[in-house]
Amino acid sequence: LLWYKSFNLSIPTAIIGAFALILHHLKLYGNVYMGLPFDRWMHFIATLAIALIIFEYFKEHNKNKALSLFAICMISMMVALGAGSIIEIVEFMGYSFLGEGEGLLRYGVGDFGEWNNACWDLMCNTLGAFVGVTIMWFIEVLGIKFKRN
For residues 77-97, average pLDDT? 87
Contacts of 67 (CB under 8 A, 6+ apart): 58, 75
Evaluate if residue 9 carries a pLDDT over 70: yes
pLDDT bracket for residue 86 (50, 70, 90): very high
Instruction: Tell me how far apart the terminal alpha carbons of the chain are, to the nearest angstrom.
Output: 12
Please count the other Cβ atoms lying within 10 Å of the Cβ belonging to residue 133: 24
Evaluate if residue 96 carries a pLDDT over 70: yes
Least confidently predicted of 21-35, 40-54, 124-138: 21-35
Of all residues in the chain, what percent carry a pLDDT higher than 90? Answer: 55
pLDDT bracket for residue 1 (50, 70, 90): low
pLDDT tens digits, residue range 102-132? 655 566 655 566 677 788 999 999 999 999 9
Position 149 scores a pLDDT of: 62
Evaluate if residue 3 carries a pLDDT over 60: yes
Q: What is the DSSP string of the chain?
A: -TTHHHHT-BHHHHHHHHHHHHHHHT--TT-EETTEEHHHHHHHHHHHHHHHHHHHHHHHT-TT--S-HHHHHHHHHHHHHHHHHHHHHHHHHHHHHH-BSSSTTSB-TT--THHHHHHHHHHHHHHHHHHHHHHHHHHHHHT----B-
